Amino acid sequence: MKIFVKAKPLAKEEKIEKIDEINFIVAVKEPPKGGKANGAITKALALYFNVAPSRINLVSGFSSRQKVFEVLL
């Protein structure tokens, strides 16, 4: 399933806010440099959906705050 994520890097606390079935806001502590924030978002989503991080793929938005992820359940 595809989900749409608004990324918030450099947040004070890590959290996932569900807007609706496919839209989420994900706050992570990592900076948006060198893919660190993308990796942290992937790990956070994996914990949220209770799947391995390898089952979460970033489809678009590699350098944007608006991202599309594919979750393989």
Give the pLDDT confidence score for residue 47 in this predicted structure. 98
Looking up tokens 């004070």 gives: 12
Spatial distance between the Cα atoms of 63 and 14, rounded to a whole number of angstroms: 19
What residue numbers bound the domain in which 62 lies? 2-71
Q: pTM of the predicted model, to two decimals?
A: 0.96
CATH code at 20? Answer: 3.30.1200.10
CA dihedral 60, 62, 65, 69 (to 10 degrees): 40
Domain count of the fold of the chain: 1
Spatial distance between the Cα atoms of 31 and 53, rounded to a whole number of angstroms: 19
Enumerate long-range contacts of 21-29, CB under 8 Å, 24 or more apart.
none
Over residues 6-33, the mean pLDDT reads: 98
> What digits encode the pLDDT tens for the residues 20-69?
999 999 999 999 999 999 999 999 999 999 999 999 999 999 999 999 99
Give the pLDDT confidence score for residue 62 in this predicted structure. 97
